[in-house]
Every structure is written in structure tokens, then in C-alpha cells.
Structure 1
Amino acid sequence: MINDVKKSAEQRMQKSLETFKTDLSKVRTGRAHTGLLDHVMVDYYGSDVPVNQVANVTLIDARTIGVQPWEKNMLAKIEKAIRDSDLGLNPSSMGEIIRVPMPALTEERRKDLIKVVRAEAEGARVSIRNVRRDCNNDLKNLLKDKEITEDDERRGQDDIQKFTDKYIAEVDKALAAKEAELMAV
């Protein structure tokens, strides 16, 4: 039972780390990347959906993303969603396609991106700590139901804390690498 809780904790913490690394890969360093728009949500007949579910997202060149909506009436909504996102992009529509040029990374823009990355890192840390809390509660419930001893519960909590420390260190390492990449000119 304790092994199940520990295995669950490690798997969930691993998923949090992988999600964080995926989010980091979306923060680009001056080059265009279609994944950059993955988390931009558009109002599509009353529900929010990602841009890539209502349009073709392609690379026009190394510094420009092209977004071609499948429905003409979505053009203005997609353009507004991209402009309102926290990415600092300024899209412009040209007929049936929206061009999203990537701004050159100024010192100020780099610092803004670092703030975004740090916020993502803190979200990942919180997620990992939430997993720790849930698993510790599971251990306490097992103890309360007299399925494990107090010593087993204590050892289980220590192991879960070791997983927590390990994955938070991984988040910090990935954050430091991304910050260095963003600050490199």
C-alpha cells in the first residue's frame, strides 16, 4: 500500500515536471515556433479552444508565424486572442491569413519572458507540493484505518519528501537553463 502511494507520487511529480518542460519549450528566444500559440485560447461559439483547433498554424519564415482560420468569421477573434495573450505579439491580418511577426528580443522583452518562465516554474513547484500533500494525506488515512504502522507512515512521508526535493531541484535546474538561454544575446 505504501509502495502504491509512493509510486503514484513519483509518477504525478514526473508528469508535473514534463508539463513544465513542455511549457518552457513554448517560450521562444526570438525565433518563430508554432508551439508558441498552443496555449492561446479563442472564443469559438461560446467556448474557449486553442488556436490550433480553429486554424492552421504554420511558419512563414524563421521570424513569422502564419495563422489561417478555417472560418472567415474567426479572423478577428483569433487576432484579438493573440494580441491579448501574455506573449507580447502584434498580429496583423492580410486577407485570409494572420501574420504574427516575432519581435526582436530587447533587454526588456527578455526580462518579461524571464518573469513568465519564473511564474511557470512556481506553478510547477506548487503542483509538485500538492502531490506531496495528497500523498501524505493518503498515508495518514491508511494509518487511521490501521492498515499501516506509524513508523511505516513516517518512512513513507520521508520518501515522498525526497521525491519532492528531487523534482523541485529538476524544476530549478530547467529554470536556470532557460534563463541562461533567454539572456544569451
Structure 2
Amino acid sequence: MEESVDKVITQMKDEMKKTLSSYKKYLTTVKTGRAHVSVFEGIKVESYGQQMQLKQLATISTPDAMTVVIQPWDVSIIKEIEKAILKANMGFTPQNDGKIIKINIPPMTEEDRKKVVKLLKQESENYKVALRNARKKALKTIKDLEKEKIISEDESKRAEKEVKKALDDSSKKLDELMSNKEKEILNL
């Protein structure tokens, strides 16, 4: 029943890939002192009687590194978009000219950068815990398979090595992503 060990390892690797993918998505939302459309895309706007994401209602662009321009497809909801940005409490003041909303991104102070990096490291640790939990679950399943004599001790040892390697590789990727984001934040 070698395939059951392979299935366990495949499931664990898939979990780790999802965790890394989720982490990458999280990194796009981290405030860096530069204009990023991803910071604004998920803002919920009350429009047409329901909550919708800003990216569903407008074109969001960055004409330069310090400016975000939001151009609603329907200018009648521009006030709602402006309210939603203020309500999101991100520290930005939108400027509305009736057709577009312009947001100037203030430069981050050294203290702000250090705070963001500290939060980034804390959040990174949460994602590492998720990776370790995936490993723990896989190892438990492998041990159970060995106990039930479904796999041999040798197969169990081989599987444990593969699990350890997968965790090491995923942790290394996560560290690289965090390190790159940290450099981006501190070197602006």
C-alpha cells in the first residue's frame, strides 16, 4: 500500500503550497510606503444594495509610486467608494474630483517601517505554524499506517525524511518571501 504514503505526502505538500500561496497574497496587502492596487482591491463598498469589492466597481491604477487612482465605472457611487476607503481606516485621505478618486501615499517614517516589519515577522510565524501543522498531521498519519502494519518501518522512515524535506523547502521559501518584503519595506 505504498500509494497511501504517497497520498499522505501529496496532501501535505498541497497544504503547504496553499499556505505559501496565502502568504504571498498576504504580502501584497502589507503597507510598504509605495502605491499598490492590491491594498485597495478588497475594500468593501456598499453599492447597489449590497457589499462589493472595490475592484468590482472601479479601475484601480498607480500612475506613479506614490499615487493610486480609482476610477469608478459608475460615477454615481463615487461617494460610497470614498466612504469605504475612509472606513477601512488605512491612514489614507482620498481626494474626490467627481470623476476619479486620487490617493497620495504618504512616505513611511523609519518608525513606521520598523513596526510594519515587526508585524510582518509575527504574521510570518503564523504561516510557519501552519506549515508545521501540515507536517505534524502527515507524520501522525504515517505513524498510524506503520502501527497498523500497512507500511513497513523502512517505508515509514523514508516518508518521514520526505516530509522533513518538504517542510524545510517550504519554510525556506517562506523565509525568502519575508526577507524580500522586509528589504522592500526598509530600503524605500
When normalised by structure 1's length, the TM-score is 0.77
* Structure 1 residues 146-165: aligned runs within 5 Å: 146-149=149-152, 152-165=155-168
Cα shift at 1:118: 2.4
User: How much is the aligned-residue C-alpha RMSD, in angstroms?
Assistant: 3.0
Cα shift at 1:104: 1.0
Counterparts of 2:175 and 2:92 in 1: how far apart (Å)? 27
Counterparts of 1:86 and 1:110 in 2: how far apart (Å)? 18
Which one of 3, 6, 16 corresponds to residue 3 of structure 1?
Answer: 6
* Structure 1 residues 34-45: aligned runs within 5 Å: 34-44=37-47, 45=49
Which one of 119, 124, 133 corresponds to residue 121 of structure 1?
Answer: 124
Task: Say if 2:81 is the partner of 1:104.
Answer: no
Task: Say if 2:176 is the partner of 1:173.
Answer: yes
Cα shift at 1:143: 4.7
Structure 1: any 5+ residue segments left out of the alignment? none
- Partner of residue 53, structure 1: 56
When normalised by structure 2's length, the TM-score is 0.76
Counterparts of 2:149 and 2:186 in 1: how far apart (Å)? 54
Contact 2:94 2:102 in 1 (8 A): yes
- Partner of residue 24, structure 1: 27
Q: What one-letter code is carried by the residue in structure 2 that aligns with 1:59?
A: T
Percentage of matched positions with identical amino acids: 32
Counterparts of 1:35 and 1:79 in 2: how far apart (Å)? 17
Q: Which runs of 4+ in 1 moved over 6 A?
A: none
Counterparts of 1:60 and 1:110 in 2: how far apart (Å)? 23
Counterparts of 2:41 and 2:149 in 1: how far apart (Å)? 47
- Partner of residue 70, structure 2: 67
Contact 1:89 1:100 in 2 (8 A): yes
Q: 1:83 to 1:165 in 2, by over 3 A?
A: farther
Q: What one-letter code is carried by the residue in structure 2 that aligns with 1:35?
A: S
Cα shift at 1:103: 0.9
Counterparts of 1:74 and 1:141 in 2: how far apart (Å)? 58
Q: How many residues align?
A: 184
Q: What one-letter code is carried by the residue in structure 1 that aligns with 2:85?
A: I
Q: Helix, strand or coil for the counterpart of 1:30?
A: coil
Counterparts of 2:89 and 2:159 in 1: how far apart (Å)? 41
Which of the two has higher C-alpha Rg? 2
Counterparts of 1:43 and 1:145 in 2: how far apart (Å)? 56
| Larger mean Cα displacement after TM superposition, 67-76 or 162-171 | 67-76
Counterparts of 1:15 and 1:178 in 2: how far apart (Å)? 19
Q: 1:56 to 1:119 in 2, by over 3 A?
A: farther
Q: Helix, strand or coil for the counterpart of 2:93?
A: coil
Q: What one-letter code is carried by the residue in structure 1 that aligns with 2:66?
A: R
Q: What one-letter code is carried by the residue in structure 2 that aligns with 1:147?
A: I
| Larger mean Cα displacement after TM superposition, 49-58 or 20-29 | 20-29
